Each structure stands twice: as structure tokens, then as C-alpha cells.
Amino acid sequence: MHRVGVRPNQFTYGSTLRACTSMMCLGTGEQIQGCVEKTRLVKDLFVQSALVDMYSKCGNMEDACCVFESMAERDVVSWNVMISGYAVQGLEDDAFQLFRSMLREGMIPDCFTLGSVMKASCRGRSVMKVIQVHVFIIHLGYELDSVLTGSLIDAYVKCGSLRIAYQIYKTRLKRDTISCTALITGYAREGIYSRDAFDLFNEIHQTHMGIDNVILCSMLNMCANTVSLDLGRQFHALALKYQPNHDVALGNALIDMMKIKPNASLWGAILGACCIYSDKSLGEVAARHLFDLEPEKSVNYVVLANIYAAMGLWESVSVTRKLMEERSLRKCTGYSLFQPTNKRLTLLLPS
């Protein structure tokens, strides 16, 4: 575009900055900001909001705040971007303080503002702040917004106010899997609302709302807490029906329910499954446990190296092989038995 002499406008810069944000390319975004500084668009609201969004989502809150403070004019979008940035980075006090500043300047928050503030409040486990946001939701007429009320239920659950969360859930005209999952997860975490959890699960099951692995894991954990193996077997059958594919979290919930202590065989099975499904992060966890439990077993190192190799991580493959050399481990030599001669022939000679 520059080569052919076309001059970019605010939409060009805004779209390019948003692309940098989605790819987390902070350096490229800073170069684009340098180009903006040389034009009359340096004070453009659309471009400045895109800059604040880029810096905040890339974790550079200091520069995001600097751009935000330099804005001569701010709209709801620019406030939302900054508040959301604080919430995403886990700075809940800053997010709530900026929300107060927004109100003092006479800006009316929208559903996106309230959603971001609520996310920050539940991260800080501050039920009083969640209640304040709840009051704003009612006052501004957003209590029928399904996404916002779903987030509100989740916030109350994370703050431990399960009774209030359930009351909001019961008043909803349209109930969805997200709010149900949040409630059941909260019940399972607290461990003292087993009857409420089972009743809610029955409601989900009867209304065909949809059962995912998070709900099933929570119910299996609830069965473990209540020491109810029979109920756990029923949920295991439902797990096989609704989630027949491989799911490590679901398997862990089943193990926890049956009170099985993880051993080398279990971690070996998980490592093998990770090799099949190319799950590097869980494979590394399983391998670390196996290295402690069976430090002399070379096959565990080989399987981990195969996971890395399948993903093209050759440097990690080299590190794993070097670890085998340091521990004087060798892969077992392959053999075959030929019927005519009945002799054992080596197929792979050690180097």
C-alpha cells in the first residue's frame, strides 16, 4: 500500500493494530504507532482505542494507560477496552477504580463494561463488588441479557455465594449449559450441596440441555466427596454415552472417585495416550512422574521424545536423548523369532 503511494486512513491503522493484537505482535504494533505519530491521525479516537486494546491485551498496561490518559476524547468503547485490559491481566482493583472514574465522568456503562468489571470482581473473590455490579445490571435494565446474567451466576459461584447464584438461575427465562455448568462446578467445589447438584443435573438431563465433560467431571467429583460408588458408576455410564472420546480430565475424575492412587502403570497409560493424541503438556507431566517412579526405564524417555518429534520439536528431542545418555540408559534392542530356524535374531544393533 505504501509502495503504490496510497495513504492509509484511520480504518487502515485500526485494522492493522487489531491484527497485531490478535497475533500478539507488540513490536509490529509499536512500529505502526510510530507511523501514526507522523500523521494527523495521532489524536483519532478509533486509532487510539485500537492502541489501548493492543497494549493491554499484550500485557503492557503501562503504555496502555499512557495512551488512554493522553486521549482528549473518550467514548464507551475506549473505557471498555481499558477496563477489559485490567480485568484480563488480573488487576481487579485497577479495573474497578477505572469503572468508578468512568461513572464520575458521566459515562453510562454498557453490557460489555459490566461484564469486564464483573470478571475482575470474581477474580478477586469480592462478593461485595459483584453485588454492586449486579445492582447496576438491574438499574440499567440488563437483567434479561442472557450472556450477562450467565456471567453473573458464574461470578457469584466463584465468590462462594451459591444460594444467590441459584436464585438468579431460577429466575432466568432461558437457561443454558454455561450457567448450569458454573453452578454444578461450584457445588462440586464446595462439596456440601450434593442434593442441589443432583437435582440440577436431573433438570439438565430431562430437558436435553446438553451434558459436557465439565459437568460429568464435577458430578464424578461430587460422588467421590459423598463416597457414593453406585451413583458414580451411573455417571460413568453417562460419560461413556455423552463423551465416548478420550478425555484426560474425565479419566482423572473417575480415578479420584474410585480412590485409585496413581502409579507407574497409570502414568504410563497416560503417556501412551498423549503420544497417540499429541498432547505435549500432559505428556510432559506424565513423563516427569515416570522419571521419578521408574528412572531406569528407557521406554518412558523414548515415548516423550516421540511426542516431541511428532510435533517437530527437535531441540526437545535432543534434550531428552541427552538426558538418557547422562543416566546411561539405552533403548532395548528389538528382536524377532523366525519360525523356520527357531533362532532369535537381533534386528537393531546398539550403536
Residue 95: the pLDDT is 92
Helix, strand or coil for residue 336?
strand
Highest mean pLDDT among 81-85, 241-245, 273-277: 81-85
Residue 347 has pLDDT above 70, yes or no: no
Helix, strand or coil for residue 165?
helix
Mean pLDDT of the chain: 82
Residue 343 has pLDDT above 60, yes or no: no
* Rounded-to-integer distance, Cα 304 and Cα 293, Å: 15
Residue 68: the pLDDT is 93
**Average pLDDT of the residues in 286-298:** 88
Contact predicate 30/60, CB 8 Å: no
Residue 107: the pLDDT is 92
Residue 258: the pLDDT is 58
Q: What does the pLDDT look like over 241-267, one tens digit per residue?
A: 766 555 556 666 666 665 556 678 878
Residue 304 has pLDDT above 70, yes or no: yes
Residue 193: the pLDDT is 65
**Average pLDDT of the residues in 319-338:** 73
**56-60, 153-157, 189-193, 320-324, range with the lowest pLDDT:** 189-193
Nearest residue to 152 (alpha-carbon basis) of 139, 167, 313, 185: 167
Q: What does the pLDDT look like over 152-170, one tens digit per residue?
A: 888 898 888 888 988 888 8
Residue 66 has pLDDT above 90, yes or no: yes
End-to-end CA distance of the chain: 58
Residue 102: the pLDDT is 94
Residue 113: the pLDDT is 93
HEC states along 137-157? HHHCCCCCCHHHHHHHHHHHH
CB atoms within 10 A of CB 277: 13
Residue 228: the pLDDT is 66
Residue 97: the pLDDT is 92
Alpha helices by DSSP H, listed for the chain, are: 10-23, 26-37, 45-57, 61-69, 76-88, 92-104, 111-123, 127-139, 146-158, 162-171, 177-190, 194-206, 213-225, 229-242, 248-257, 264-277, 280-293, 298-310, 314-326
Q: Please report where in the chains the cell 468489571 appears, as a residue.
A: 117
**Rounded to the nearest 10 degrees, what angle do helices 146-158 and 162-171 cross at?**
160
**Average pLDDT of the residues in 218-236:** 72
Q: What does the pLDDT look like over 179-219, one tens digit per residue?
A: 888 888 888 777 666 778 888 888 887 877 777 778 878 88
Helix (H) or strand (E) segment spanning residue 345 = strand 344-346
Nearest residue to 222 (alpha-carbon basis) of 198, 241, 205, 255: 198
**Model confidence band, residue 350 (pLDDT cutoffs 50, 70, 90):** very low
Residue 195: the pLDDT is 78
Residue 349 has pLDDT above 50, yes or no: no
Helix, strand or coil for residue 337?
strand
Residue 242: the pLDDT is 67
User: What pTM does this model have?
Assistant: 0.63
Residue 83: the pLDDT is 94
